[in-house]
């Protein structure tokens, strides 16, 4: 068993933080997300580098601006030579998996992830 901590990143699509119990919503019940927020890390002051899905997600994956990624629109392709945090985690000994939508539309659908189940 590894001594490395588990890393779980959840990215929802068009989710407003104000409809989570951990941010004070009294109507919507989100006990599992609240527990993850209490025991993990929240990015309360994060912002998007682009108002479009694909450039924003590629910036999230690479830590680079849309201009540096050369992905400006929702039909942009991330060059497979640009490293992502999945590459870095893999080099550090993590097994990486991606489940869900990340808009990887190029021939390299993995961009550093070892596992990408489709279904």
Q: Which residues are catalytic?
A: 53, 103
Closest by CA position to 73, among listed 47, 45, 105: 105
Q: What is the DSSP letter of 92?
A: T
Q: Which residues contact 71 (CB under 8 A, 6 or more apart)?
A: 54, 55, 58, 59, 77, 78
CA distance readout (Å), 40 to 3, 15, 32, 88, 93: 17, 18, 12, 20, 21
């Amino acid at each position: 068993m590894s001594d490395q901590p588990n890393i779980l990143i959840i990215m929802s699509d068009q989710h407003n933080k104000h409809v989570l119990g951990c941010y004070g919503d009294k109507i919507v019940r989100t006990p599992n997300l609240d527990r993850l927020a209490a025991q993990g890390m929240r990015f309360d002051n994060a912002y998007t580098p682009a108002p479009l899905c694909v450039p924003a997600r590629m910036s999230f994956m690479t830590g680079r601006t849309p201009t540096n990624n050369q992905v400006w629109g929702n039909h942009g392709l991330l060059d497979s030579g640009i490293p992502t945090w999945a590459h870095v985690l893999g080099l550090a000994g993590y097994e990486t998996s991606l489940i869900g939508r990340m808009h990887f539309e190029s021939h390299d659908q993995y961009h550093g992830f070892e596992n990408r189940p489709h279904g």
